[in-house]
């Protein structure tokens, strides 16, 4: 009998699958009692029953950014997840542990000589010489739903507080992610808003694997 690993069931797009997917079910009239009101389904990502307060006016003036993000949402921490958006290389695998907001990513970085990047860099730079090394990156989405900085706390050696996005939260309070970088095989991270860019060298020869592991600051494994 085949017994599936629970991770492949709970996280079918993660791991070596590295699949893309789209969730699109917003039903503003959803209620806990009647679901979406269509064919007995109850799949909406939003429900007025999950807006806590005396009336709908809470949506006009939520207490803080975290409340706004989760206002009326259903299971947002399950479906709003970090993921690699674009990469200069090949995604080998990635995973996300919702209980600790731990995200892991492995990328196979292809050498310039074995890819079209080498020629692209030469054309872009206008150089005719040999290109020994360049800089590549992977862009990662790190949603506020998991990584929003709660309150100021002590600094840490592996702590990375992102830069605010162009639009700040009310009264000038910046919305930033707060990360603990558990492992970074090479390169550096730059974070603005909900976007992290992981930079690493692209070498002329020699394919290799790079690895990243992070979680929200203050979470325990």
What do you get for the CA distance between the two ends of the chain, in Å? 32
Residue-level pLDDT at 196? 96
Which residues lie across from 95 on neighbouring strands? 104
Q: What is the mean pLDDT of each run of 10 residues along the chain (221 residues)?
A: 35 60 72 80 79 59 70 81 90 91 93 71 68 84 90 75 75 81 96 94 87 90 56
What is the pLDDT at residue 131?
Answer: 65
| Distance, CA of 169 to CA of 27 (rounded, Å) | 27
Distance of alpha carbon 213 from alpha carbon 97, whole angstroms? 11
Cα–Cα distance measured from residue 33 to residue 44, given in angstroms and rounded to the nearest whole number: 13
Contact 42, 36 (CB under 8 A): yes
CA proximity to 66, closest of 171, 145, 163, 166:
145
Predicted pLDDT at 129: 63
- Give me the pLDDT at residue 11, please: 58
pLDDT at residue number 67: 72
- The Cβ of residue 8 has, within 10 Å, a number of other Cβ atoms equal to 12
In order, the DSSP letters of 35-101 are BTSSTT----SB-GGG--SSSGGGGGS-SSHHHHHHTTBSSHHHHS--EEEEESSEEEEEEEETTTT
Note the pLDDT of residue 7.
38
What is the reported pLDDT for 214?
96
pTM of structure: 0.77
Asked if 107 and 92 touch (Cβ cutoff 8 Å), the reply is yes
């Amino acid at each position: 009998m085949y017994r599936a690993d629970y991770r492949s069931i709970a996280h079918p797009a993660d791991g070596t699958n590295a699949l893309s997917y789209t969730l699109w079910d917003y039903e503003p009239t959803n209620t806990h009692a009647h679901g979406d009101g269509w064919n007995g389904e109850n799949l909406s990502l939003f429900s007025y029953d999950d807006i806590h307060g005396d009336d709908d006016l809470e949506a006009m003036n939520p207490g803080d950014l975290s409340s706004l993000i989760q206002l009326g949402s259903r299971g947002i921490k399950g479906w709003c997840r970090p993921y690699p958006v674009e990469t200069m290389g090949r995604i080998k695998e990635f995973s996300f542990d919702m209980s600790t907001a731990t995200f892991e990513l492995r990328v196979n970085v292809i050498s310039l000589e074995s890819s079209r990047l080498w020629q692209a860099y030469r054309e872009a730079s206008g150089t005719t010489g040999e290109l020994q090394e360049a800089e590549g990156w992977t862009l990662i989405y790190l949603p506020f739903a998991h990584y929003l900085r709660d309150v100021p706390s002590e600094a840490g050696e592996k702590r990375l507080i992102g830069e605010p996005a162009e639009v700040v939260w009310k009264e000038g309070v910046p919305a930033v992610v707060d990360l603990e970088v558990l492992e970074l095989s090479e390169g550096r991270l730059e974070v603005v808003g909900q976007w992290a860019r992981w930079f690493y060298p692209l070498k002329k020869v020699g394919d290799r694997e790079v690895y990243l592991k992070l979680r929200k600051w203050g979470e325990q494994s």
